[in-house]
Amino acid sequence: MLDEQGCPDCKRINEVLSRVGDRWSVLIIISLAQYGTLRFNELKRNLGISQRMLSLTLKELERDGLVNRTYHPTIPPKVEYNLTPLGESFRQPVAALGQWALGNLSTIDAARATYDEATGP
Amino acid sequence: MLDEQGCPDCKRINEVLSRVGDRWSVLIIISLAQYGTLRFNELKRNLGISQRMLSLTLKELERDGLVNRTYHPTIPPKVEYNLTPLGESFRQPVAALGQWALGNLSTIDAARATYDEATGP
DNA sequence: CGGTATCCGAATCGATACTG
DNA sequence: CAGTATCGATTCGGATACCG
């Protein structure tokens, strides 16, 4: 891909969004923001995410410094996740996005229906 | 996938995010918010997006009522895109996200480096 | 309980070529 | 200029099985 872009920030925004901008990351952040600390299987049940994707996404979030992982070597083992300060700072923009999403879901649905009817038949 | 979720909003947030939450949608919104009105190839050059993805994403955004498409049947043809009121209302949360992304890119990079060094070698 | 490893179909995306 | 069509490569993501 060429690099003759007039929007120099786009590449960088793109970079960050491809890291923390995917669906599961956002939902995990929202959950942790809401409940504070959650265990692996609590997140799993909460989000309806597969074990594999949860594991992968949590590892990424930990790597990016957004989520903290605490391992308790008890039997049975217990692992807790919560937001780091960086993760907390991500709450604001994410919350704004989530709120907008909820508030405009029906509007978008209506727009879709209109568009489909005007285009489709 | 089961549906025994404790986070009833997650499914719906998920729905909206899968519509307007992808990388290209966000970048297109940001560009249109910044410049007001742009033609197809202006967007293409601006974002470094492939023709195919731009076409698909714009169609989705139009369908969801976020972007307005104006076709001028001149020769050569000229098509202009701008934000609808709904798209404008999306500016705020998107801007917050973009700002956070830019502001924390280096922090994330540092966290990654630390993590990789502690884990990887 | 909290993962990792493997498999495999589905969805995504870029490159390329073609059209009005 | 502004798309659409097609193809191949990569990625995503769930299901399943197994380990500490």
Is there a domain that residue B44 lies in?
yes
Confidence tier at B2 by pLDDT (50, 70, 90): very low
pLDDT tens for each residue of A25-76: 988 998 999 899 999 999 999 888 999 999 999 999 999 999 999 999 999 9
Contact in structure between A41 and A96 (CB atoms under 8 Å):
no
**Which B-chain residues 70-109 have CB contacts (< 8 A) with chain A?**
86, 89-90, 92-94, 96-102, 104-105, 107-108
Is there a domain that residue A97 lies in?
yes
Is there a domain that residue B4 lies in?
no
Of A13, A105, A108, the CB nearest to B98: A13
Q: What beta strand segments (E) does A20-73 contain?
A: 37-39, 67-72
pTM of the model: 0.86
The tokens describing B79, both together, are: 């098509």
Interface contact A115, partner B, CB < 8 A: yes
* Chain B residue with the nearest C-alpha to that of A118: B63
Interface contact B18, partner A, CB < 8 A: yes
Contact in structure between B59 and B18 (CB atoms under 8 Å):
no
CATH number at residue A115: 1.10.10.10
- Give the closest nucleotide to A75 (alpha carbon vs C1'): C1
Comparing CA positions, the residue from A120, A112, A105, A101 lying closest to residue B63 is A112
Is there a domain that residue A94 lies in?
yes
Share of chain A above pLDDT 90, in %: 57
Interface contact B41, partner A, CB < 8 A: no
pLDDT tens for each residue of B8-20: 666 777 777 777 7
- Give the closest nucleotide to B50 (alpha carbon vs C1'): C14
Q: Which domain range does residue A41 map to? A: 10-119
Is there a domain that residue B65 lies in?
yes
Is there a domain that residue A47 lies in?
yes
Is there a domain that residue A84 lies in?
yes
Is there a domain that residue A76 lies in?
yes
Domain count, chain B: 1
pLDDT tens for each residue of B17-44: 777 778 889 889 989 999 999 999 999 9
